[in-house]
Amino acid sequence: MSKRKLIASDFDGTIGTGARLQDDIEAIKAFQEAGHLFGMVSGRNADSLRYVCERAGINCDFRLSDSGSICYMAGKPVFTNMIDRQVMIPLAEFLMEKETDIISVNRVDGADLLFCRNSKGEITVNVPRDQWVARPFSQMCGAFKSSAICHEVARELEERFPMLTALPNWGCLDIVPKGRDKAVGLLQLAECLGIDKEDIYVVGDNYNDIAMLDAFKSFVVENACDEVKTHATVEVTPSVGAMVRRVLEM
């Protein structure tokens, strides 16, 4: 009997690319009917990832959200990795100092948007600082004008907050507990499920996917930039559906 395989797909920019969502869904169903596991791994918060998967009609055996910090299976948490509440306000203040365009704080039950500036430079959300509520959180996100600024802020942030990891993704910065990323989250899930690393396959499209692309048998969708494509350890694929069918053959 063949071993059980696990596929983890990024969501934004990966699943359903090229108007192929229905084909992706049909391939995923065949993969699951063969006894394997399919799920999403995303920088989105847990509630948002659940919502978009359900809305798209994607049946997930697991959802790994917050860049590998939180995992759900069958509606129940497998693990949660949180940042201490005392870090929340100093971290948000740091992002404000760096002229971020967004501050979003992810929690298990949703997200708080503290600040938002639109593409025209207009402030559309600005919660007064005396109304910021410090609670444990799984991820904080900031957005900056360029990838270069984002990477520089990430470097400074990790120097000031050694208990955190900053994951740049173009102009978006995902901030998670120290040492967390999508690869670490997948390894933790695989250990819980008793699945060997050699039986894990991943697919993504962007810089925040690189850790998992390098760690596992990986595919990159063809709409990704050339730099990210170089991290595909198996091949560049036209779609998630094509990737799933390829894994079934391996």
Which CATH number do you get for residue 240? 3.40.50.1000
Quote the pTM value.
Answer: 0.90
pLDDT for 160 equals 97
pLDDT in tens, 43-86: 999 999 999 999 999 999 999 999 999 999 988 999 999 999 99
Last residue of a domain, one of 159, 177, 195: 177
pLDDT, the chain, mean: 93
Picking from 142, 150, 155, the residue whose alpha carbon sits closest to that of residue 93 is: 142
Residue 100 lies in a domain: yes
Percent over 90 (pLDDT), the chain: 83
Residue where a domain stops, chosen among 177, 210, 226: 177
| Of residues 61, 66, 55, the one with CA closest to residue 76 | 61
CATH of the domain at 142: 3.30.1240.10
Q: Confirm whether 171 is domain-assigned.
A: yes
- 96 domain-assigned: yes
Q: Which domain holds residue 107?
A: 85-177
Q: What domain count does the chain have?
A: 2
pLDDT tens digits along 98-124: 999 999 999 887 889 999 999 888 999
